[in-house]
Amino acid sequence: MGNLDLSVIGNCSVASLITPKGQHVWFGFPSLDAPPAFDALLREEPAERGFMDVELAGGIVAHRQRYIENTAITETVLVGQTGAKVRILDFCPRFNRYGRIYRPPMIVRRIEPLAGRPYISIRVRPSFDYGASIPSVSIGSNHLRFVSPDTTLRLTTDVSINFVLHETSFVLDRPHTLVLGADEVLPENPERLAHNLFIDTRAYWYKWVRDLAVPFEWQEAVIRAAITLKLCSYEDTGGIVAALTTSIPEAPGSGRNWDYRFCWPRDSFFTITALNRLGATITMEQFIRYLINAVIRDGRPLIAPLYPITPAAETEERIVETLPGFRGDGPVRIGNAASRQRQNDVYGAVVLAAQQMFWDRRLPRRGDANLYRQLRRVGIGARWAALKPDAGLWEFRTRPGIHSFSAVMCWAALHRLGHIARLVGKETDADGWYSRAATLRRAILSRAVTREGWFSGVLDTEFVDASVLLLPELGFLDARDPIFLRTLAVVEQRLLHNGFVMRYNVADDFGVPTTAFLVCTFWYIDALARVGRKQQARDLFLNVLARRNHVGLLSEDIDPATGELWGNFPQTYSQVGLILSAMRLSRSWETGLAHGDGHEASPDPEAEAKAAQ
C-alpha cells in the first residue's frame, strides 16, 4: 500500500477504508471511534487478518478505482490474467426513511462480472480488539457470524456460505452481494436489498451535493472534500472526528503516531466553517447540540482539547502491542494524551463555531438568549485563559508557552461574544466584551510582535509558527498591515519548502519535523490571495491538488521532497483547507460562464462504465 492510496465509504455511523484493489483494511465497528473489525491498515503487508477482499484466480494484473460521481460509493474494477473483469461496488447505506436518516452500521458490497468468466474467491477475515481477538465463526443458512466476547459481526450473502468460509474459488457468472454489519436478520434477500439500498443511497448523495453552493472552479475537488468531511461526522451525537484512523505516522520512523478518532472543538470549528460556506449547515446544528451536551453543559469552567464522540469511549492514551503499525511503523496508540493538556484556543473555537447560529436565517432554530448565556461562560473561561501557558495548537507535550494562536482565539471569543450579546439585546454585556477584547488585543500585540516587526507564535520570544497566517481570517490583523506582511515574509523564508509549509522549524518532543502540514499550506495560499498575490496562490493550490491520492483525498502531512502523503487519513483539516482555498481563489460563476473556461469537465459515468467493460 503506497502513499495512502485509500478510498473511504461511510454513512456518519461507520466508515471503511479501501485499497485500490478493493481490500477493506480499516472498519471501526459499530461506530467511527470503535475498535476496528478490519485492521490490516496497521499490519505489515501482506496481512493475514483484518480485511475483506476479492481475489482473482491467477492474480490481479490491472485495477481501477473511482467514486460514483457525487456520492460516497466506490467502484473498483479488477482485471485478471485472462482478461476477465470484475466490478465491485462498496457503500454504507444512508438515506431518508420514515422521516429520519437510515444509517445502519453496515457495509454493502456488490460483485459483478464485467468480461470473461472470472474465477474469484472471497476472503472475509475480521479481527477484534485491535488484533488481540480472532473471532469464532458460526454458520447459518445464508450467513456467517463472527463472534467474540464483546463484538458480533454478521455477514449475509447470496454466495455459497461454504465458499466464503473456506475461501473457495468459484466462477462469477452473475452478480453477488455481501452485507456486513450488526447481528440482525435481513428482511429480504441480499440481491434485492442491496439494489434498493444502492438506489436510495445514491439518490441521497445526489441531493446532498446538489444543495451545495460550490465555486465555479475545482468543483470535483470541492465536492469530494465536502463529502469526506460529512463522513467524518458522527450523526448520533453530533461529534466530528479529526480523522478516521489512528497511528498513521506523520513521517516514517518519527514516532508521531496519534489517535485522531476524537472530537477536537478546534478541528470541528474549521470543519463546520467549510461546510457552512458551502451551504451544508445541518452538520453545524448537530455539532452545536454536541457542544451543549458534551462540552459546555453544567457550566464547567474548563474546556478540554478533545472529547469522545460516543460517551463511553476512553480518551486515556495507551500503546497497543497486538498491531505492528502502518507498514510496521509503530507504535499503535489508542486514546490521546492531549485530552489532559490545556489548549486555550478551544474557548474561541466553541464561540466561533456557534456564531453563525445567531445570524443565519435559514436555520429553523437560531441562536437565542439561552444559547448566549451558555456561551457567556465560555467567554469567562477565555478571559481567564488568554495569557496563560498551554500546549498550543500543535499540542506540544513538553514545551508549554503562551501561544499566540491560543491568545488570539481567546480574543476572538470575547470579540464575537460582543457581537452576539448586542444581537440578543444585551447591550451592557456587549460593551463589556468589546472592552475586554480591546484590552487583550493590546496585550497580545505588545508581547507577540518581535523587534523586527513580525508576529511570533509564542509571546515574549521569537518562534516562527504557521498558525499566525490565520490572523486576518480571525479579524485580528488586516492582511495589509505591515506586521502581517513582515510575518508572511518570515514564514516564506523559514517554513516554505518546495511549495509546502511546515508548522514550525525547531525541535519539539520528537525532534525537528520533516513533513509539511497540509493545512498550513492552504493557510499560506489564502494569505497570498489576501495580500494580492493571487496568481502565485493559484499555482500553489494547483500543486497541492496534484498531490491528492487516486480518488481525490488528502491526509494530514506531506513530504515536501517526494510528495508522499503521511499522517492520519482522511484528515479533516486538509479537506477544509482545500474547500476554503478553492472558494477564495475561484473565479465567480458570472466570470467563468462568460469566458467558458476554468470549469473542469465532469466525468461521464456511463462512458466510464462502458470503458471498464
Alpha-carbon torsion 578, 252, 403, 339, what sign? Answer: positive
pLDDT reading at 610 higher than 50: no
User: With 0-12 CB in 10 A as exposed, 13-18 as middle and 19+ as buried, what is 588?
Assistant: exposed
Which band of pLDDT confidence, cut at 50, 70 and 90, is reported for residue 2?
Answer: low
Cα gap 245→534, rounded to integer Å: 35
Better pLDDT: 481 or 607:
481
Which of 107, 145, 150 is closest to 129 using CA atoms? Answer: 150
Could you read off the pLDDT of 139-181 as tens digits, one per residue? 998 999 999 999 999 999 999 999 999 999 999 999 999 999 9
- The second-level CATH assignment, the architecture, of 7-208 is Distorted Sandwich (2.70)
**Residue whose cell numbers read 446544528:** 285
pLDDT score, position 3: 75
Cβ neighbors of 529 (< 8 A, separation 6 or more) are 537, 581, 584, 585
pLDDT score, position 148: 95
pLDDT score, position 603: 44
Cβ neighbors of 346 (< 8 A, separation 6 or more) are 264, 265, 266, 303, 304, 305, 409
pLDDT reading at 577 higher than 90: yes
Q: What percent of the chain has pLDDT above 90?
A: 91
Cα gap 604→68, rounded to integer Å: 10
Segments making up each domain of the chain, as ranges = 7-208, 215-232+487-601
Which band of pLDDT confidence, cut at 50, 70 and 90, is reported for residue 600?
Answer: low
pLDDT score, position 258: 97
pLDDT reading at 606 higher than 80: no
pLDDT score, position 70: 98
Report the range out of 181-190, 330-339, 394-403, 604-613 with the highest average pLDDT: 330-339
User: With 0-12 CB in 10 A as exposed, 13-18 as middle and 19+ as buried, what is 384?
Assistant: middle
Q: Could you tell me the three cell numbers for 240? A: 466530528
Cα gap 291→357, rounded to integer Å: 13
pLDDT reading at 599 higher than 60: no
Q: Could you tell me the three cell numbers for 519? A: 493545512
Which of 1, 127, 103 is closest to 52 using CA atoms? Answer: 127
Task: Return the axis-axis angle of helices 369-385 and 404-423, rounded to nearest 10°.
Answer: 150
pLDDT score, position 601: 44
Could you read off the pLDDT of 499-558 as tens digits, one per residue? 999 999 999 989 999 999 999 999 999 999 999 999 999 999 999 999 999 999 999 999
pLDDT reading at 301 higher than 70: no
Dihedral of the CA atoms 479, 482, 488, 490 (nearest 10)? Answer: -170
Give the least confident one: 103-112, 188-197, 537-546.
188-197
Mean pLDDT computed over every residue of the chain: 94
Length of the chain, in residues: 613
Cα gap 595→351, rounded to integer Å: 41
Cα gap 247→544, rounded to integer Å: 23
